[in-house]
Amino acid sequence: MNKPLMADDLREKIIANPDVLLEDADVMRALVGANADQAKGNIVDLRSVAMERLEARFDRLEDTHRNVIAAAYDNLAGTNQIHRAILRMLDASTFERFLADLSGEVADILRVDAVRLVLESNLQDSDESAGAAVAIMPEGFVEGYVTLGRNMPARQITLREFHKVGGSLYGTRAEYIKSEACLKVDLGPDRLPAMLVMGSEDPLQFTPQQGTDLLTFFIGVFERVVRRWLA
């Protein structure tokens, strides 16, 4: 019986956890560079395993690199969209032009299929259809719409699948809307809550997993613009 060439405890550790060797670059370099004539078959096999591990690492690194680049590009494209939409809003010379742009040029820039500004009113004869870009709703509507009637605080930005709740907000387009963004609007002291809704026919345009930083910035500018017109 041949005596093992290494200490029993070290041999047992390697057998119990061989990945330790394969993941250690210095150890692998020493093993692969060993004398091929002494253990030719083992060295060839070990080199093959080492190359497979390195290729797998490279593939993972390449995938990560692609994902980082794609995320950065998407973020830059989204930032440019928000900036262009804001500049368009600021260009309006009248409030009527501002509202028309909201459901027209601004919606096109943001690549959404419908945009509606919801204003609450405590008047008895509140009209649910006050134009293409504006919907006048009863007091308390915004909170109920955002929370879907649940007993929970309404977040400033809510991205979700559209379930045809309050379909009147999108008019004839409601049948085709698949996802929506609900942006609460603060019009200032002594004014009822308002909301900007964006609807998309793409079910993945607005999902709860998406970040809301850009939309938070957008609605912050939107609030200030609307307050200026209402002043």
We report the CATH number of the domain holding residue 174 as 3.30.450
Distance CA 115, CA 101 (A): 10
Q: Give me the chain's average pLDDT, please.
A: 81
Angle at 193 between CA 164 and CA 114, to 5 degrees: 40
- Give the pLDDT mean for 129-156: 84
* Model pLDDT, residue 47: 63
DSSP letter assigned to residue 165: T
- Give the pLDDT mean for 218-231: 92
Q: Which residues contact 86 (CB under 8 A, 6 or more apart)?
A: 218, 221
Q: Is 66 helix (H, G, I), strand (E, B) or coil?
A: helix
Number of structural domains in the chain: 2
Q: Is 139 helix (H, G, I), strand (E, B) or coil?
A: coil
101 with 172, same domain: the answer is: yes
7 with 45, same domain: the answer is: yes
114 with 188, same domain: the answer is: yes
12 with 57, same domain: the answer is: yes
pLDDT at residue 171 above 50?
yes
Out of 65-69, 87-91, 103-107, 185-189, least confident range: 65-69
80 with 104, same domain: the answer is: no
Can you give the residue range of the structural domain that contains 216? 93-230
Residue of 201 and 127 predicted with greater confidence: 201
Q: Is the pTM of this model over 0.85?
A: no
Judge residue 194's burial from the number of C-beta atoms within 10 Å of its C-beta, 0-12 exposed, 13-18 middle, 19 or more buried.
Answer: buried
156 with 202, same domain: the answer is: yes
* Model pLDDT, residue 11: 75
166 with 109, same domain: the answer is: yes
